[in-house]
Amino acid sequence: MMRQEAEKQIAETEAAARAALAGGDASRWPDKLPVRQRIALLLDPGSWVEDGLLAGDGLPADGVLTGVGTIQGRPVAVIAHDFAVKAGSWGQLTCEKQIRILERADRDLMPVVYLVDSAGGRLTDQLGFFPGRRGAAAIFNLQVRLSGRVPQICCLHGPSAAGGAYMPAFTDWVGMVAGNASMYLASPRVAEKVTGESTTLEEMGGALMHATVSGCGDEVFDADWQVIAAARLLLSYLPDSWQSAPASTSGTEPELPDWPEGLIPLDPNTAYDVREVILRLADAGSFFEIKAGWATELVTGLARLDGRVVGLVANQPSVRSGAIFVDSADKAARFISLCDAFNIPLVFLQDVPGFMVGVAVERQGIIRHGAKMITAMACAEVPKFTVVLRKAYAAGFYAMCAPGFEPRATIALPTATIGTMSPEASTNAVYANKIAAIADPVERREFVEARVAEQAADFSLARMGGELVVDAVVPPERLRAELLGRLRAADGWQRSGHRRHHVVSPV
């Protein structure tokens, strides 16, 4: 009798496991990979160890797969929503499974990869997912607890709706699949009832919108496999936790080793693409740009220099002259914080006319957002290096790690100019009345040219070096070698003892 009962239990358990492994019917979404195929692409073959497979009363795995696997041999925790089971919605057990794996990631200091595809809370189980200690709030609490302790990477394959939209928001990077991925606090139908606005899901919360307008998304991809491949690649730049440094690899030469004359124009008002500079500094194929479509007047991304991981923050002269706006200040602050959290040295490539001015940006809080960027940069303890490519004016010079913020070195190219403003603008500010009083055009031009020359001499590179503003002036073709030497010299850096809990952020 006992044997028969045991065999019955085994048979029931095996049947439940088969049903759970089969998942929901994903055939209705031919443009989406089933959730287990997504996990197979993400992890090393044979490394997936799943928890809570039998959860859910008739719902395969209760709509979410959780467990541990490896990526290039490194253990990672995984949360993957099964869109084919109740649209990946969250109930009590769905939340419990996610909480348990996040607790394990916190305990074992494992990176977390989220494969998000969820319609949000399961309204038929509100008491289970919403108000209690082990509901959605506990998930978000754990995500915040993990922030800066371990990397958290999100692949957004479908919706991330209502309160669940905060799951991607608490991660370090969000890749979104075009046409399928979306983030929104309320559906267009609900928004119309509340606000009277008539809109579409794509317009309100689609991938392109979030990657170019809101900044909630980092990159847009055409297919599930592409965003997963990007997540695997990104993890190779990050350590397992805040307690270690990113792994170095064997270095390669830059993709573009030559520096053609005029790549950085002498005229500070002539545009050029700063990515052309980055391609001559970074190891070939190593630049992983972050938020490439948002706040494009600033370029941020991870790269390798002779195998060492660095974070690059670069003004982009080809977009709005490289001035710092509200969004680009936020973009810089977040990226700098990411690098500092995970022990990644920072290289600032300056070609900045300053912060944007005017009524519109003042009303948007440019001072507050600029202070946020400066705070993040000043608080970063990782080795920092400043390179002045061309112009470095006004408070933009400060925000991009001026000497007062203790970079390990300030390096200038021969094209560099540092000052409160350009010599032309400075001359006009100081001598405006006198210039206006000179009636003869030739005399006026000669007077202006002489004053501009005086202003330029005040901030010459020779004087900047003599006053210890600049530590080295190097030609462009030697810049990579200069940075590599200084990075090697900083290899033994350590964090200082804690002086306080944290700053009061000007957010």
Domain boundaries, the chain: 20-237, 274-416+470-490
- Give the tokens for residue 410: 């300030």
Query: Tell me, what's the pLDDT at 501?
Result: 62
Answer yes or no: are the C-beta atoms of 461 and 416 closer than 8 Å. yes
**Domain 274-416+470-490 class in CATH:** alpha beta
Phi–psi pair at 19, nearest 5 degrees:
-65, -40
Residue partners of 196: CB distance under 8 A and separation at least 6 = none
- Give the tokens for residue 283: 């190891």
C-alpha triplet 180, 190, 174: angle, nearest 5° = 35
Query: Tell me, what's the pLDDT at 507?
Result: 64
- Give the tokens for residue 457: 């001499």
SS3 state at 181 = coil
Cα 393 to Cα 48, 123, 413, 416, 421: the distances in Å are: 52, 54, 15, 11, 5
Strands (E), 208-345: 219-221, 288-290, 298-305, 308-315
Q: Mean pLDDT by 10-residue block, N- to C-terminus, for the chain (507 residues)? A: 73 79 85 96 98 86 96 98 93 95 98 95 83 92 96 96 89 97 87 85 92 97 98 98 95 94 93 97 98 98 98 98 97 97 97 95 95 96 98 95 97 92 74 83 82 75 86 96 97 82 71
SS3 state at 414 = coil
Query: Tell me, what's the pLDDT at 433?
Result: 82
Query: Tell me, what's the pLDDT at 1?
Result: 62
Element (H, E) at 77: strand 74-81
Query: Tell me, what's the pLDDT at 467?
Result: 86
Query: Tell me, what's the pLDDT at 464?
Result: 85
Q: Look at strands 173-177 and 49-51 and give their pairing.
A: unpaired
Same fold for the pair 20-237 and 274-416+470-490: yes
Question: If we measure between CA atoms, which residue out of 331, 371, 329 comes closest to residue 503?
Answer: 371
Q: What share of the chain is helix, strand, coil (3-state, %, to 5)?
A: 45, 20, 35
CATH number for the domain whose boundaries are 20-237: 3.90.226.10
Question: To 10 degrees, the CA torsion angle through 139, 144, 148, 150?
Answer: -10
> Does the reported pTM lie above 0.85?
yes
